[in-house]
Chains A and B, each alone.
Chain A
Amino acid sequence: MTETTDHGVKHEVYERLHATADFRELRRRYRAFVIPWTIAFLAWYLLYVLMSMWAHDFMSIQLFGNINIALVFGLLQFVTTFAIARIYATHANREFDPLAAKLEGQYEREIGGAAPDRPGDHAEHPLEGER
Chain B
Amino acid sequence: MSTQALTAALFIAVVLLTVGITFWASRQTSGTTDYYAGGRSFSGFQNGLAVSGDYMSAASFLGISGAIALYGYDGFLYSIGFLVAWLVALLLVAELLRNSGRYTMADQLAYRMSQRPVRTAAATSTVVVSIFYLLAQMVGAGALVTLLLGVSSEAAKAWVIVGVGLLMIFYVVVGGMKGTTWVQIVKAVLLMGGTVLITVLVLAEFQFNISDLLGAASEETGKGEAFLEPGLRYGVTTTSKIDFVSLALALVLGTAGLPHILIRFYTVPTAKDARKSVLWAITLIGSFYLMTLALGFGAAALLNTGPESEVATSGGNLASPLLAEAVGGGDGTTGGAVLLALISAVAFATILAVVAGLTLTSASSVAHDLYASVFKRGQATERDEVRVARVAAFFIGGVAILLAIPAQKLNIAFLVALAFAVAASANLPSLIYNLFWRRFNTRGAMWSIYGGLVSSVVLVFFSPVVSGKGVDPNTGANLSLFPADVDFSWFPLENPGIVSIPLGFFLGWLGTVTSRDAESERRYDELEVRSLTGSGSEKAITH
Contact = CB atoms under 8 A, between A and B. Distances in A.
Tell me what chain B mostly uses at the interface: helix, strand, loop, or mixed: helix
B529 A103 contact: yes
A81 B536 contact: no
Nearest to A29: B532
Interface in B281-298: 282-283, 286, 289-290
A18 B77 contact: no
Contacts of B114: 131
A10 B229 contact: no
Given A26-B533, A88-B90, A78 B83 contact: yes
Contacts of A42: 252
Contacts of B379: 123
A26 B372 CA distance: 35
Contact of A116 (B252, B272, B289, B538): B538
Contact of B282 (A85, A108, A122): A85
B133 interface: no
A121 to B, nearest CB: 5
Interface stretch (B98-106, B168-176, B506-514): B98-106
Interface of chain A: mostly helix, strand, loop or mixed: helix
B163 interface: no
B14 to A, nearest CB: 30
Contact of A97 (B235, B272, B282, B523): B272
Contacts of B275: 89, 92
Q: What is the interface residue range for chain B against chain A?
A: 35 or more
A30 B532 contact: yes
A53 B532 contact: no
A50 B234 CA distance: 12
B241 interface: yes
A71 B73 contact: yes
B523 A118 contact: no
A34 B432 CA distance: 12
Contacts of A103: 529, 533, 535
B521 interface: no
B526 A67 contact: no
B73 A66 contact: no
Interface string A110-122: 0100001111111
Contacts of B523: 127
Contacts of A120: 102-103, 107, 110, 368, 372-373, 378
A4 interface: no
Interface in B279-325: 279, 282-283, 286, 289-290
B283 A122 contact: no
B378 A116 contact: no
Contacts of A85: 86-87, 90, 278-279, 282
B245 A119 contact: no
Contact of B115 (A89, A92, A122): A122
Nearest to A102: B533
Given A45-B81, A81-B282, A27 B528 contact: yes
B210 interface: yes
B17 interface: no
Contacts of B278: 85
A130 to B, nearest CB: 10
Contacts of B373: 120, 122-123
Interface string B239-266: 0010011001000100000000000000
A18 B529 contact: yes
A31 to B, nearest CB: 8
30 contacts: A10-B536, A11-B526, A13-B535, A18-B526, A23-B532, A23-B533, A26-B532, A34-B91, A37-B87, A46-B248, A48-B80, A52-B244, A56-B230, A59-B229, A65-B214, A66-B215, A66-B218, A68-B228, A74-B76, A74-B77, A85-B86, A85-B278, A96-B532, A100-B534, A117-B530, A120-B103, A120-B110, A122-B373, A123-B379, A131-B114
The 8 closest A-B pairs by CB, nearest first: A65-B211, A123-B378, A107-B535, A66-B214, A14-B526, A53-B241, A52-B230, A103-B533
Interface of A: 10-11, 13-15, 17-18, 23, 26-27, 30-31, 33-34, 37-38, 41-42, 45-46, 48-50, 52-54, 56, 59-60, 62, 64-68, 70-71, 74, 77-78, 81-82, 84-85, 88-89, 92, 96-97, 99-100, 103-104, 107-108, 111, 116-124, 127-128, 131
